[in-house]
Amino acid sequence: MESFLNAPLVEPFSRLLRSRRFTTAVIAVVVSAVVSLFPGLEEVRTELFIAVNTGALALITGYSWEDASTASRQDSDLAQSDLREAVRDAVFVAIDNVEFVVEDEEIVQVEGPTSSA
């Protein structure tokens, strides 16, 4: 069953049906359709449409902000770990390129890429 859900034609629909935003939109459409079918609700039909659709839009917007925040945090964590690795590598390269001249157990000269000696 799992391989069927990962098929090229089925997988997008499977993801769509699991989406919170899509489910919210479908529920809003179903509630709006039910409200329009009941003649006893004619007096408050417009208010119900506005309330249901505004609530659905607010919920979908909240889901979108949450997803964007999660994606941003993941990108930020990756960028920070990449930066840490780059700095660590640069420090190790700099340390490897530094040569110390030791006389009588004292460092008398440091030679490296930035020294002027």
pLDDT at position 12 is 77
Which is higher by pLDDT, 34 or 115?
34
pLDDT at 116 over 70: no
Of 16, 21, 85, 97, whose CA–CA distance to 59 is shortest?
21
Q: What's the whole-model pTM score? A: 0.55
Average pLDDT over residues 65-77: 79
The 10s digit of each residue's pLDDT in 76-115 is 666 667 777 878 888 777 777 766 666 666 666 666 655 4
The helix or strand, by DSSP H or E, that contains position 40, with its residue range, turns out to be none
pLDDT at position 71 is 80
Of 26, 24, 25, 29, whose CA–CA distance to 37 is shortest?
29
